[in-house]
Structure 1
Amino acid sequence: MTCKPLIGLNADYRAAARSTPAFSYIAAGYFQSILSAGGIPVIVPPMDDPDSIHTILDQLNGFLLIGGADLDPRNDGFMLHPSVRPLDPIRETSDRLLMADIAERRMPLLGIGTGMQLLNVQQGGNLFLDIKEDLPSAVPHLDPQDPSHRHTLNVESDSLIGRVYGDGEIRVSSRHHMAIDEVAPGFRVTARCPDGVVEAIESEMMDWFALGTQFHPECNAASALDVRIFEEFVDGVREHAAQDLRLVA
């Protein structure tokens, strides 16, 4: 496949307030990173109609699930922790419909932040609801005063993340208080913070190119190496689309 692949990106949602209407939005770093990596970003606003979501996914070659606020643990059978600041229900409903359809069709997927957490829980894993409480010895993973807060990363060399970063000290942008506890079946951890917190997962399934990062390679503080995650993802999407074309032929 020589043409640029179409990569869907979900969008956030903010409800109407007294002085502003409801609106949907997305941080520019996500679609700019896809553009820079050679893909064409297609923004998908929140929708609660499975048929509409199915139709738009039919037109796409891959998908990027963006970060944002917290998944509501009550949707996965857990109690609401005081530290949780849930996504707007309109966005979360749409994200879960998207994730279910993406998984069923084995569409190439990159999940970032909340997107990785949703990938993990939808596939059967679960989450720590608050790192400070559940993992008290962990280093800070969120600094409200510094949106560019970074910490070091240990990667598995035999992985996409390992291919991106190679050897040497790695520092990535971190802004989360929830984290993966049990990893979903069919996935493996390919990067951790030195304190043990999971920072990247990748599919081990032969029929699904899917990965997630808890850190944020799209943010303003991202390095040239961080950007390579998007290049690897777009290359994987392009290869998957080429395989589909060969099967059709």
Structure 2
Amino acid sequence: MPVQPLIGVTTYLCRARWGVAWDLPAALLPDAYPQYVRRGGGLVAMLPPDDPAAAGALVRRLDGLVLAGGEDLDPALYGERPHARTGTPVPERDRWELALLETALEQGVPVLGICRGMQLMNVHAGGTLCQHLPDEVGHEGHNPVVGAFREHAVTAVPGTRTASLLGATVNVATHHHQGVARLGEGLVASAFAEDGTVEAVELPGSAFAVGVQWHPEVGDEYGLVRGVVEAAGG
């Protein structure tokens, strides 16, 4: 049988409850993420926050990297004070995932950023975030119900990798209140919502580095994950 590429997926770091009485700090990942990677043809390794100095050694064992969604990034990473609606940051996760991303880009390991993961890619490249998107677009359409995904249309920019993987227009599952403000150096905005919100970014060139603001893991479209698995050797 062909060897399936090993795709690392970052995890949340939060307090969780399970069983009869357990209520403890936990590294966790919604099951939709590993299912998504498996359906794309990859094997999954969960990557809980660790010492950033270990990121290089870990990434060398991976064939691809998925930066999962989750908590708001620390605004200090892009030189801003927190907005009143910005969530409490998780510095351990921020540092770990920035180190993973940096090393993956250096080593040419394919990267897919999902929601927070796309925002991390933008901040890593020197970009900034809009900390509460309704302030900018004037509506709650990107996150209308807390804890529930909703759909809206996204249009890919012709000629981009994103367009080649998804097609021209696709309905996507959305749940975010932040977004790209200033685009990071070297990144290209490769998809937009109808209100002008940047919905995907990518690094031009042969290496696979794509970030999307939506949550493809909860839909039934697998072009993105198949793209990263194929780039990883699948």
Same fold at TM > 0.5: yes
Range moving further from structure 2, 158-167 or 111-120: 158-167
1:174 & 1:227 partners in 2: Cα distance? 16
2:4 & 2:89 partners in 1: Cα distance? 32
What's the CA shift string for 1:152-205, capped at 9, x where partnerless? 1111232232223325x5211111111011222222111100110000111113
Higher strand share: 2
Give the number of aligned pairs: 230
Higher helix share: 1
| TM-score, normalization by structure 2 | 0.90
Q: Secondary structure at the match of 1:144?
A: coil
Q: List aligned pairs for 1:1-249, cutoff 5 A.
A: 2-15=2-15, 20-50=23-53, 52-136=54-138, 140-145=141-146, 147-167=148-168, 170-206=170-206, 208-219=207-218, 222-223=219-220, 226-238=221-233
Answer whether contact 1:202 1:211 (CA < 8 A) is retained.
yes
> Structure 1's 165 and 139: CA in aligned 2 closer, same or farther, altered over 3 A?
farther
Answer whether contact 1:10 1:66 (CA < 8 A) is retained.
yes
> Structure 1's 20 and 135: CA in aligned 2 closer, same or farther, altered over 3 A?
same
Q: Which runs of 5+ in 1 are unaligned?
A: 240-249
Root-mean-square deviation over aligned CA pairs: 2.1
Answer whether contact 1:11 1:44 (CA < 8 A) is retained.
yes
Answer whether contact 2:73 2:90 (CA < 8 A) is retained.
no
1:161 & 1:45 partners in 2: Cα distance? 28
Cα distance, 1:26 vs. partner? 0.5
Answer whether contact 1:187 1:205 (CA < 8 A) is retained.
no
| TM-score, normalization by structure 1 | 0.85
Answer whether contact 2:143 2:149 (CA < 8 A) is retained.
no
Answer whether contact 1:48 1:97 (CA < 8 A) is retained.
no
Q: Which runs of 5+ in 2 are unaligned?
A: none
